[in-house]
Structure 1
């Protein structure tokens, strides 16, 4: 933008760029913001929204070759299961066991498999090779609530939340500057902004102890 630009040209320049960043960030945030706003309500009323968990229990027998492979490693307490074992478990129970950290004991191997909207675990009896799997599903509301909190969602979803939050900041900051530039023609601008600041502040001071 040239230094010789008139105030009118400068205003037009900033309005054009602020509007561009504002609508792009709002388009990026739109769907996720609806989801986060809706789950904010469900989380705020979680005591009134009753969950009906569904528990699924399965069992199988670990092949002898894989059982022998576990016996050779159990005393070393490895950080992860052998690839052949995780592949068999994932095919048999439709899990993602490679991401879990096993807990070893002389008699068994326990694999916690937490997930959004529920829980799961897997136990392998090192003596008999019996594999027990239990999955608890608490429904879609619980699943979306856990996405809101980033609970047991993995690093990819964590990165998404960070990027979404950055886009929301851009949306809000550009919106603030647009409010400032249009405030002269809209008398209610700053009273409404002040209301949005004072209301949660008063509620926090008066009702939250």
Structure 2
């Protein structure tokens, strides 16, 4: 039990510290001033690429050659994801952790508008905490981290039981850890 507790705590240590810090920043998000940095880029899609926009069906991804051209022009990778196609334009939302981005292509003129917003490191860490716009790899990491935290807590509970006989304040402290949040929810939340 000691080995499981020790190993799970070692695996969780840095993640739990970051989770605690981002929990504080999320709790006080309104008081933390952010200065978003917005980058705008406009251009015109080459004539040779415009026919590929007329062949696409609604909710399909941008053609590979258009994505490649956009990456060359903006320096940003454009993922393969469904875009919003209307008669006049193609709109692609590009949400990301710690910011946002979008692009719009006029289907008739080829005019392209791209905007990227970076909300800073606090927003990035808050989004990582929530798993917002982070992708499947981060989602898997959060699930594995959560399982390791459960192992850490449950083995800690077993170790508390093993050593509680020598420490009379163990169970009153555990009960306080349960009672305080329950009382706050029952008495002080709307």
Q: Which interval holds the TM-score relative to the shorter structure?
A: over 0.9
Q: Does 1:186 align with 2:174?
A: no
- Of residues 56, 60, 64, the one that matches 2:47 is 64
Q: 1:27 — aligned with what?
A: 10
1:125, CA displacement in angstroms? Answer: 1.2
1:142 corresponds, among 123, 127, 130, to 123
Q: 2:100 aligns with which of 106, 119, 131?
A: 119
Secondary structure at the counterpart of residue 166 of structure 1: helix
Equivalent residue number for residue 7 of structure 1: none
Correspondence 1:51 to 2:31? no
Q: CA deviation at 1:79?
A: 2.0
**Partners in 1 of 2:68 and 2:116 — Cα distance?**
18
Q: Tell me the equivalent position of 1:155.
A: 136
CA distance in 2 between counterparts of 1:99 and 1:48 reads 37
User: Structure 2 residue aligned with 1:165, among 136, 146, 157?
Assistant: 146
Normalized against structure 1, the TM-score is what? 0.86
Q: Secondary structure at the match of 2:76?
A: coil
Deviation at 1:66, TM superposition (A): 1.5
Compute the displacement of 1:176 (Å): 0.4
Q: CA deviation at 1:69?
A: 1.4
> Which segments of 5 or more consecutive residues in structure 2 lack a partner in the other structure?
none
1:71-104 Cα offsets, whole Å, 9 max, x none, are 222xx22521221221222232233322432101
Structure 1 residue runs of 4 or more that deviate by more than 4 Å after TM superposition:
none
Q: How far apart in 2 are the matches of 1:146 and 1:122?
A: 22
Asked if the contact 1:122/1:131 (under 8 Å) is kept, the reply is: yes
Q: Deviations over 1:149-177 (max 9, x none)?
A: 11111111111111110010000000000
Count of aligned pairs: 190
> Contact (CA 8 Å) 1:120, 1:134: kept in 2 or not?
yes
Q: Do 1:100 and 1:112's aligned partners in 2 also have CA atoms closer than 8 Å?
A: no
